[in-house]
């Protein structure tokens, strides 16, 4: 078979949230090259014989992107069935686009298998609908990460959308983000929910108004939801009706 890499989304954590195709490919992989965010429960679906390579980037350490690209090319050229497994969806942050381009340039076929992004999976797990008739007609997914001290996001413009703002990689910078949004005109009373390790056994949800985001303890990784919908929890409504 010609060289091929499967660029697969692992979903937010719970293996039940993998696509059928992702689970099938994982079960037939020779080698799985995965990120730090991919849960052990998902990796357990690879055959015991499969080689698992953790190239996860964590603060202060991790495998540089250039090396990951070279590794993927070499593994594919060696004729192995390579699953490149990324948390959530492979093309929502996480540099999946760059990896796909590098592989294509090396003449290696890439099949992309979309996954449930934490951008929607984490709010859903907390009972938060990202859109809601009459409350939020849009949701914008942005990175909270800064590159060389600069944010690539126009927070002032975002403050004006009237929709839901979903921030990934924003825990460390949450104080700066909150200040920029308030500066841009968003009310400091706007509800916020932070969903940590969504859909895993360690999931936790913290809620606060935007004015308290900077001082509210939140652990990474988390998805931060900002907007009126962040006050909702459809699960708690169901629990109240049952009680």
- Candidates 69, 102, 117, 190; binder of ligand SAH (CB under 6 A) is 117
Respond yes or no: is residue 57 known to be catalytic.
yes
Q: Which is nearer to ligand SAH, 69 or 199 (CB)?
A: 199
Binding of ligand SAH by 84 (CB under 6 A): no
Binding of ligand SAH by 168 (CB under 6 A): yes
User: % helix / strand / coil in the chain, to the nearest 5?
Assistant: 30, 25, 45
CA distance 83 to 47: 12
Respond yes or no: is residue 135 known to be catalytic.
no
Judged on CB neighbours under 10 Å (0-12, 13-18, 19+), 66 is: exposed
Binding of ligand SAH by 13 (CB under 6 A): yes
**Strand, helix or coil for residue 183:** helix
Binding of ligand SAH by 86 (CB under 6 A): yes
Q: How far is the CB of 92 from ligand SAH (least distance, A)?
A: 4
CA distance 228 to 136: 7
Q: Pick the catalytic residue: 30, 54, 57, 233? A: 57
Q: Pick the catalytic residue: 14, 35, 86, 89? A: 35
Q: Which is nearer to ligand SAH, 80 or 200 (CB)?
A: 200
- List contacts with ligand SAH (CB under 6 A): 12-13, 37, 86-89, 92-94, 117-119, 122, 168-169, 195-199, 221-223
């Amino acid at each position: 078979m010609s060289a091929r890499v499967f660029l697969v989304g692992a979903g937010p954590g719970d293996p039940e949230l993998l696509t059928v195709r992702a689970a099938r490919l994982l079960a037939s992989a020779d080698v799985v090259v995965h990120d730090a965010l991919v849960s052990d429960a998902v990796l357990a679906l690879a055959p015991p014989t499969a080689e698992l390579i953790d190239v996860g980037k964590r603060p202060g350490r991790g495998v540089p992107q250039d090396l990951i690209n070279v590794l993927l090319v070499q593994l594919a050229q060696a004729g192995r069935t390579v699953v490149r497994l990324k948390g959530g969806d492979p093309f929502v942050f996480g540099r999946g686009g760059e990896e796909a381009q590098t592989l294509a340039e090396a003449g290696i076929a890439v099949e992309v298998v979309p996954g449930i992004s934490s951008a929607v999976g984490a709010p859903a797990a907390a009972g938060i609908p990202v859109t809601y008739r009459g409350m939020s007609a849009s949701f914008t997914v942005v990175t909270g990460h800064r590159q060389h001290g600069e944010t690539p996001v126009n927070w002032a413009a975002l403050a004006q959308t009237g929709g839901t703002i979903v921030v990934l990689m924003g825990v460390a910078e949450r104080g700066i983000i909150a200040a920029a949004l308030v500066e841009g005109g968003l009310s400091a009373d706007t509800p916020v929910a932070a969903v940590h390790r969504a859909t895993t056994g360690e999931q936790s949800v913290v809620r606060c108004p935007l004015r308290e985001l900077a001082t509210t303890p939140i652990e990474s990784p988390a998805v931060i939801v900002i907007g009126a919908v962040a006050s909702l929890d459809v699960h708690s409504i169901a629990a109240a009706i049952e009680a």
